[in-house]
Chain A
Amino acid sequence: MRKEPSWLGHAAERARSEPWTLGRLLSRCSELEGTSDNDIATELGCTPDTLRWVYLCRAPSEEHFAEDVGRVAQRFGLEASRLAALVRRADAVAALAAAHHDTGDAELLLAARDREDTEDSQ
């Protein structure tokens, strides 16, 4: 098993505050959904250390979404479809959070979450 560098956790933690990183996008999503890094790692089917490397990557661009997701997935041995679904959801949650912030509509996020829960249970 490969030994990860001692600085990896610090860099991944720092990535959460950089707007261009996947770390920012995914951790913001888990923050709003009330889940943890371990939950994200489980969802992606990877170890927490692999997730830290993923956090250091640039978030996929809209123009090259599939290609960007594919590169990250390939490098870190992830299922591209899982990563794509998670990034799409994180984008949606971030957009809803921004809309909520702009409009002050407190019901917006709850409604979105309720809808997700309903879809999940079907």
Chain B
Amino acid sequence: MGFPTRQDEAALHERVLAADPVAAADVFAAFVDPLVAAIQRDLRCDSDTARDSAIDAIFEYLGAPSSYQPSKGRLSTFLAHITKRRATDRIRARSAEARREQEFGSVVELRASAPKEEMERAVAARELWHKVEQALKDDGDRAAVALILDGERSTEALAEALGIHGLPQLERQREVKRHRDRLVKVLERLGARLRDEEGT
């Protein structure tokens, strides 16, 4: 379906300007289909975008019909221009939204673990802890390693776990450091053994 003739367009525009109440419906009937076809051909956009943009363009024109100046060209050209602008805006907005969703999705993926991944990680941690328990027979050592793995740096907490009591502060700090270094060595050896096991 093509655009109305130049004369029909001009007559329709005159009726719109004269506030003929039915003219608006006639503009829709005359222009939506050819506008949709033209915009799909020119922009290769989907039919929903073309339809909504054509409807937007016609409402824009009908809301301010004097914005169309017949001396500058045909009404169909004027409406096609608005339709194209509206369609381009829609496509850009959708692309921006898709990009935002993708970026948001990446952040979520980085921050949140899938349930399966969490479960696998928990199983691996249990197996690893079992190896720590085999390497460290002392409960105090195990408690201190648990604190070290949790990122605990406080001398008081480690001293408590290791059962170091009744020493002056400086000596307690030295004692805790000595135990801490020993336990870190144990963990290093354990790590090296695990890497060997994985490598074999």
Contact = CB atoms under 8 A, between A and B. Distances in A.
Interface in B7-29: 19-25, 28-29
A57 interface: yes
Interface residues of A, number: 24
Contacts of A5: 29, 32-33
B28 A11 contact: yes
- Which one of B25, B54, B58 has the greatest number of beta carbons of chain A within 10 Å? B25
A51 to B, nearest CB: 12
Contacts of A57: 21-22, 24-25
B175 interface: no
A59 interface: yes
Interface in B48-87: 51-52, 54-56, 58-59, 62-63
A101 B102 CA distance: 43
Contacts of A59: 21
> What range describes how many residues of B lie at the interface?
20 to 34
Contacts of B56: 14
Interface string A7-47: 10011001100101110000000000000000000000000
Given A7-B36, A11-B32, A58 B55 contact: no
Interface string A62-85: 001000100110010000000000
B21 A14 contact: no
A56 B29 CA distance: 10
A14 B59 contact: yes
Nearest to A18: B59
Contacts of B59: 14-15, 18
A107 to B, nearest CB: 35
Contact of B20 (A21, A56, A71): A71
Contacts of A10: 51-52, 55
Given A11-B55, A14-B55, A18-B59, A58 B28 contact: no
B55 A22 contact: no
Interface of A: 5-7, 10-11, 14-15, 18, 20-22, 53-54, 56-61, 64, 68, 71-72, 75
5 contacts: A6-B51, A11-B58, A18-B63, A71-B21, A71-B22
